Structure 1
Amino acid sequence: MEARRSEKPRQDDTGPEAPGFKPVPLARWLWRAYLRSALFPILAIEIGFLATYWIGTLITYRTNIGVIRPAAEDDFARMAQREALAIDSRLASISELASLFAEQATRALAQPYEPAAGEMQRYAFSPERGYATQSSDADGAAAAFYASTTPLSAEQLETVKRSSQLDPLMRSIKQTDPLIAKLYLTTRDSYTRIFPYSESVQSFSPKADLTRSPYYLAADAERNPSHRAVWTAIHVDPATDRWMMSSVAPLYRGNTLIGVVGIDIAVDALVQQVLDLHLPWNAYGVLLNRDGTVLAMPRAGEQAWGFGEADVLEHVDPRDGDADRPEQLNIHQRADTRGLAAAMASGGSGRLDNLRLGGELLHSTWAPIEGADWTLLLLASEDTIVEQAARLNHRLIVAGFGMVLATIVVFVVFTTWLGRRARALGRELGGALSRISQALIAIGRGQRLQAGHLRFDIRDLDRMGEQIVRVGEQLAETNEALVQAQHRLELALMEEQRLTASQRRFISAISHEFRNPLSIIDSTAQSLARRADRMSAESIAERSEELRTAVRRLSEVIDSASVFMSFEQQRNSSEMPECNLDELLQGVRHRLLRQHVDRTRDLRLDPAVIGTSVRCDQAMLRVIVSVLVDNALRHSAAGTEVRIRAEAAGRRLTISVSDRGPGMSEEMVSRALLRPLEHKGDTSGAGLRLARVFAEMYDGKLEIESKLGAGTEVRVVLPLNGATGTAEKEGA
């Protein structure tokens, strides 16, 4: 054991005291390290990496086939929903415009209106053509027509005049969306007004019953009980020979349908929006109507569907109805799309895989266009979706061969480059270590390093530099934290001193409030003790009531002390509980009326406080209001009104108590507002001074307006803690 203790510690053979130890320059040490631990391991790693890359490429290709397809299908479904929603949103905005048009038209027909002199000169009546406009004007007024089945009287002329004030509105609505072709108003007595102006009104049959028109019937109460804007079926406008769809909204006066307004849109513009869709995977969109008939399809789908026209609407004359539509235009009648039709029959959005059209396997997804009751169907080739994964695999293979070639080139030049890089790194690392050494010296001297002072291109050195800067920051922050902690301790001490002084002042302040009730109790008790046998029952009852009043006064003073203590504990709270001001003031009123039973009809609460909620110290507020109301009742005669008012505005709460008592002189007001509560001598105005002290403790103030012989109004203005509630003010 002793021999072992006498042995010298074994030294590392590579340490600075080892035999033959000789330090080498950093650049040479790096060169040797590269040769020993970098060149051959990196070569082995590269070979393993390339092998792993080729195997991973094969696995990735097979995995992508299983991953890309469902991801693409989900994206495809979202595309259909997005495009359908875009069309549906556009139709919904037009429906909202139709509802606005209906609302304004109802108002216009109910209000007398005298148009410009030239407006009524545009109309002419003839038995053959009815009452219709003959020309437009410089501002582009609307066209109008009155069927001769309605006798032209002053009432009908008034309808024409009133409807003319809708021309600017119709012009504005027409300009909001290029999809809008025209707007019209039709009343129940076969009067119609159309914008923009059209000569077609002159060709209307003079005996036409416009209330039997499909668009008018679509808006009546039987077909549209909700009285909202609805869309009609696709129809051909006889004036323009174009496909149209109308958003119609009823006009009601009470429960009576008095007319219909409508907005016509050009269907071919919506169809063109579908034809112009730009979709990935060479996909294309097909527009279907409510019965599954194809309305539009781009040229990309012609071969698969067996069509020769780009726009399927050109296959059919819409004026001939559906009788001449070929079977291949309806997915329910085609053999190769019946499965698709069955899947779409459930309604809503959906998708179907493995749909074969024209010998091609397709993926399909669809979404409804609610406003027009159409369906947007998107189709894409399965081969096209998978082809992207194949292209990706081909690119990965090409990249693999490039990596092999790059590896060979890199290792040819790598050895040559190592020597030069070792020397450069030696200089760079030497400079970095020198900067780190200087930074440590600066920190030791108490200097504070700026962020980014030690930044290096080498990650480990850069991390070390950040840590050194962070240590310097932490040392500085620790010093600042110590200073702040000292400051907080000083503030806490000041707050404790303030609380102690406040409690001392409050105890001194309310001491005299105990003396008066105690003096009354003492004197009354002595009087009862000496003369109880000689006093009448009325006198004893009167003295007992004086004792009860004095006891209640003591209870209020004790409550005030309790409120003060709880207020001192809560005044630093970030937010006080919410208080229903109406309930609080009603409670004060009922409690004081039990003490002043003869003043039940005198004490009034302003109804403006109903529904008002504020955040405040409820107990403190209850004491202040009780003191003010009790003071007003005691200093005013029975039969005179005492009113309580409250108003919460912004972050301030104002409560006022007014009476019609004898009032106060300016000297009495000054004593109540300025004299300390614990002032000895004259005790008049002590209740107001107590309320003032509580208000000032609440960071508020007391205001008094009084005039001898005219009464007194006392207002207490208090700050609110937190946001005030909204008062629901009702009339008296």
Structure 2
Amino acid sequence: MHSALIPLVLVETILITCYLLTNQAIRVSQIDYLERSAIESLGATVDQHTRIIQDQLTHIADVTQLFADMTANALRAASTPLSETLSTSVDGAQFSGKDLGGAASFYSAVTPVAQQNLSKVQKLSSLDPLMRAINDHESMVASVYFNAWDSYNRIYPWIRADEQYPHDMQIPSYNFYYLADAEHNPQRGVRWTDVYLDPAGHGLMMSAIAPVYERNFLEGVVGLDITVGQLLKEISTLKVPWGGYLMLVGADMKIMVLPPEAEHDFDKNDWGRSGSNASNEAEFNPTGQDLTDAVNPRELLAAVALHSRGNAEVVLNGRTHFVAWAEVKPAGWRLLAVVDEEDVMAATNSLALHSRNIGYLMIAGLVMFYLAFFSYMWIRARKLSHSLRRPIRDIRDMLQQIGNGQLLPQRARSTIRELDEMAGNVLSMGAQLSSSEARRNAAQNRLNLVVESITAGLWEYRLDTDCLSLSEAFCKRFGVPASQLERVRFYDHVDAEDVQALDRALSALRAGTASVIDLELRLLRPDGSPIWFLCRGRLIESPDTRMRLSAGTFVDIDTLKQVEEDLRRRTLEAQGASKAKSRFISSMSHELRTPLNSIHGFAQLLRLQVADGQEEAKSLDEILGASQHLAHLVDDLLDWSSLQAKAPRVQMRVLEVNGLMRECAEMVRSQAKAAGLDLELQSTNPTLSVLADARRLRQILLNLLSNAIKYNRPHGRLFVGAELHNGRVRVFVEDGGAGISPALQGALFEPFQRLGQENTAIQGAGIGLALCRELATLMNGSMGLVSETGVGSRFWVDLPQGVTAPKVRKRLLSLCFVGQDDETLRCLDDTLRGIVELRHGTLSECLEQVRHDTAPDVMLIDCDLLGDDLIDALSRLRRLPGGDQIPLILLCTSPRMLATLGCEFQAVLKQPLEPNELRELIHAMMQVETPNVQ
């Protein structure tokens, strides 16, 4: 505080105070100087620009006088025959009908044809080269003309005069003529007209005119039409200091030129915007408005009108402006230069720059002070650093040894506590790294052991070089070079039938259309024998986009393939044996039916002849019962064998399509949800019905839905619906899977055909679609699909349309609860009231009801009540006639233990009951055929 901070604050305060005082004094003097120099500069600028404009107007006046003198000489020349033929209009005016490269002539009908002086026309034609030269070399000249006392006009460039002028035009009555007569121009010099809008379309114009006399007689007037727009463009190029602008005011104080930036100052935003000539004035717009309407005070107007040059201050739109003006001779105009006082004050930036330089000097002084101060501090710090150098060097050496792999270096020592602790921490870090390295090596060894035990080899594929690298053990086994191998050379070690599939997979990886590879292929041993391998791999992401790499494994599946082939062969043998068995059972069942019918018939005849109380009656009853039981067994055998040996029977009836689709959707909804799919159900016409077997059609839909779930993609499309198609009902299932290529669709409905999906994680035998097509054919229908690769597939079945809709059976479902728990009974009564007819009792009572043909539709059994007798009770129930058809719901506090029962049941609920779960289960059993679950 005493040696550094207080002196530093004191010095900075003094310097800043001096800077502010100096800056203020300089600014006051600069403002006075700028105001004086601004007025002087504006006056000099106006004088310079005025002389530029005067020189241009003087030049035009000299050319006009030259043209007048040449015209007088031409009129005094000798007459020659007329070389130009004039056309005569219907009104009696003569004019030049064709453009011959010269000037155009027009003789007004005011002068009769007999009195028209055609020799004058011929004399004036000699002026055409002069008129052309004036027009070509003077950029501001729009046209050159001569007007005679007898209303004859000659003008260049050539125009179609009869279309531009009235036929009875009296030229002496126009202002550009009488302004040059003896009364208005006794000096016979050049005169200037006011600015006017040219009717010929040249925009704003003004004319320089001069009389042509023959002795004291005024023969006519010559004139040069000046394009004011060209003059104004030249004025717009003249610059005014401090961002000011120029105004041009006529002798009558009418504003002739007002630049766009001045409109805001004069608050006249619509001036100069209405004329058709606005495009000819570049950025300056003549207003035609009186200056007295826009400027205050009136003294400035009087000064501008009375004095040929001067300067003043004026307030425009609430802002102070400096104004300087000068007269433009010989036109009598006033050129005004206007600049905003605030823009003039912008020059104070130079003063600010000067002040800033002073500030830089002050800052430099502060820097020098800081340098001296910190030099002193550095000397003190150097002494401290000398005591720190050795322990820091020793710690650095420790870290370097750890980086080189020596994880336990010699510990550094220091008398400074912090450095000594740092050395200890470095040594602890080395010990931890040593322990981590040992664990990593052990894990690496275990990983290598696992990889070698489950794979036959590893491979890497460089996409940029199109080369493969194989593991050493794999190369030795198959005689493949251990170095990088080109892809084409590796194909020499692959079975010829599998080369194309491997090439497609590697090309897809290289092209970026695939990121994984998963295929089975045969590799050739050194002796040429093939061995099956599963090749799997994927792309490896790398920050270096130039080095793209994929890696994977070879898994030996040769034994698995042999087992699969043996299993396929044995399956075919088993199928043949099953068919032979079915034919045998069918044949034997038919052979057994005939003698059984005879035995049963003769036993019935004998029984009619014997009274009930006789001993023979009991024997005959035994025979009748045994034969009837044996007949039932034979019927069951015939039904089973018919399903195996020939097409099953179908029961065609009218089915309501909406209800059937809803049932099937509810049965697979949980499966779809588990696969990450959202099942959508199309709402169709409620009256839409189909003629089919309910069980078989439901079997088809469930098969299609199961396939759509298995072969779909996560969050893909899963949709079931129906529509009328060519007079038939088409029920379809649509998925968003990978789709099926047209080349494979023909083999899709063949038995045991899975189209290359045999070795994937998706399970199936490949007979579902074939069975569905057979069932559809049995129901007078057809089946097909529409598929697009990469988009998805739609499988459909067409069936005849039903005539009438099916009637829903209105009956409550009967449910019997086997148990005595009052809380469960209350829950059942509250949850299922109005849905089922609820009964309850012991297991013996329920079994007695089944024996007397009053079996319930559903039985809910309390497993906790039965205990160890559960398996025996369920077996007795299933052995009763019709007992095997009753859907069973088991209720237990530990549902997992029921998985080992070995007895079939339809559902399991956990104690205590959850009302929503119970209600959904009962609704599902009311709508669908209950499947058996073991």
Query: TM-score range, shorter-chain basis?
Result: 0.3 to 0.5
Q: TM-score, normalised by structure 1?
A: 0.44
**Structure with higher RCO (Cα < 8 A, 6+ apart):** 1
Structure (1 or 2) with the larger CA radius of gyration: 2
Choose between structure 1 and 2: higher helix proportion.
Answer: 1
TM-score, structure 2 as length reference: 0.35
